Amino acid sequence: MIKMMQNVAEQDKFANVRYVFLDRDGVINRKPPEGKYIAKWDDFHILPGAEKAIAMLNHSGRKAIIISNQRGIALGLYSKDDVLHLHEKLNQHLTCFNAHLDAIYFCPHDRNECRCRKPGTALFEQAFLDFPSASSHNSVMIGDSLSDIEAGITLGMPTIFIKGDPKHQKPGAEKAASLATAVADSLLTAVEQFLL
């Protein structure tokens, strides 16, 4: 009975969500090992159920928006054009599942160089400008790292921590889970449990 009441309380926190901000690596696709980066489509492995989850968000009328740190650009491992090409391939792939991403924002900077690298909030602020009806009151941040959850908390929006594969979790995962509004095993689980 207590658990059922907790689930209802958690769902209430997501009742007004119209904009779903998603981290990329570890939420939509398999996160590479720490210190490794995804530079091309051949290395981009979508996690089970991710396409279905995005399609469900689309069909429910919610906007699905990626906010991603892409430090590999600053390190010279790949270019902005490489990331744009990869995201173009991702959207092409999603169309096969009647799904799409409404926008993708990424930070190309190294640590401590900008306000857009999560847990900074500049990319969210840009999204709020691009989608004038979006705000912290009708948005959620879904991510698999402490920086994702901290960014959502700074903006005052509910957050969902994706546990994912324990072998690939970043340091701070336990703290992220404890700070998040809710915790889920995968993006699909998060959407089914909290956003439908």
CB-count burial class (<10 Å; 0-12, 13-18, 19+) for 177? middle
Active site residue 23: yes
Residue 8 lies in a domain: no
pLDDT at position 7: 52
Segment 55-103, tens digit of pLDDT: 999 999 999 999 999 999 999 999 999 999 999 999 999 999 999 999 9
Residue 185 lies in a domain: yes
Range of the domain at 75: 15-194
Residue 4 lies in a domain: no
Taken in order 179, 147, 139, 55, the sign of the CA dihedral is negative
| Residues pairing with 19 in the sheet | 63, 139
Of the candidates 187, 171, 169, the one whose C-alpha atom is nearest the C-alpha of residue 66 is 187
Residue 3 lies in a domain: no
Segment 125-182, tens digit of pLDDT: 999 999 999 999 999 999 999 999 999 999 999 999 999 887 777 888 999 999 999 9
Segment 43-53, tens digit of pLDDT: 999 999 999 99
CA-based radius of gyration for the chain: 16
CB 165 within 8 A of CB 185: no
pLDDT grade for 34, boundaries at 50, 70 and 90: confident
Q: Can you give the CATH number for the domain in which 39 is found?
A: 3.40.50.1000
Residue, of 13 and 48, whose pLDDT is higher? 48
Residue 1 lies in a domain: no
Residue 58 lies in a domain: yes
Q: How many domains does the chain have?
A: 1
Cα-based angle 161, 167, 171 (whole degrees, multiple of 5): 60
pLDDT at position 164: 83
Exactly one of 23, 42, 148, 165 is catalytic; which is it?
Answer: 23
Residue 2 lies in a domain: no
Active site residue 110: no
Of the candidates 171, 5, 157, 144, the one whose C-alpha atom is nearest the C-alpha of residue 69 is 144
Residue 181 lies in a domain: yes
